[in-house]
Amino acid sequence: MTISYAAARNAPLLEREDERLLIEDWQCRKDSAALEALLLSHARLVYYWARKVGRDASEQEELVSEGIFGLIRAADLFDASHKVRFSTYARWWVKNAVLTALERLRAIVETPAGVRSPVATLVGQNADDLNALDQLPSDDPTPEERMIAKSSHSAMCLRLKDAMTSLNDLDREVVTCRSLKQPPDSIGDLADRLGMNTSKLRQLERRAMMRLKYELVARGVLTSRAQ
């Protein structure tokens, strides 16, 4: 689900009873329309944090996407029997989702000096230690576990296929080529084929993935990430 800044800013605030009913519809019946109404009414909180900490429009857009999932997580866990309003409860989830995403976006992926990699640590073990590893119980799945996993995988594939139908043709092609195809198309090759620059394609990809994630959450394939 994509919520524009204008839509978030102009969305009416919900009364407490309206909040309670929407949360009940989402938690008990997985009513996606109820979730959409709840998210729209509180999306201004997401934009507040994204604009507060994001350096540019591209980064802010990514933070908004993550903040929306913070809102969904809050909707999953909120206990309507408590006296606190949903907006108060959701504030922490949104802030934490945005700041966690910001840290990830700006992180430099490297191994700090003096820290041994897992491979180096394993190579440094003596023969007795390595032999002891062979005596540990195997993590290989049993035949029953393989059958259950195969059945679950098939069900998830069907739900993914159904969720993909909610995307328009361009979004569906981008998600397929960048996330489902093996090996995935490079951002440059796909941009050339679609006749757009890479910056625009990255923005389109983020929006498409956000829509797909929302549809998968609504179908029970994904849960909003715990922060």
Would you list the domain boundaries of the chain? 5-106, 144-218
CATH number corresponding to 144-218 = 1.10.10.10
pLDDT value at residue 146:
59
DSSP SS3 for 54: coil
Note the pLDDT of residue 94.
93
**pTM check: above 0.75:** no
Closest by alpha carbon to 33, among 80, 5, 1, 76?
1
List average pLDDT for each run of 10 residues in the chain, which is 227 residues long: 85 91 91 91 94 87 88 89 88 90 65 42 42 47 56 68 85 89 88 91 83 74 54
Q: Say what the pLDDT of residue 157 is.
A: 74
pLDDT at residue 192 in the model: 93
Measured distance CA(60)–CA(145) in Å, rounded:
42
CATH architecture of the domain 5-106 equals Up-down Bundle (1.20)
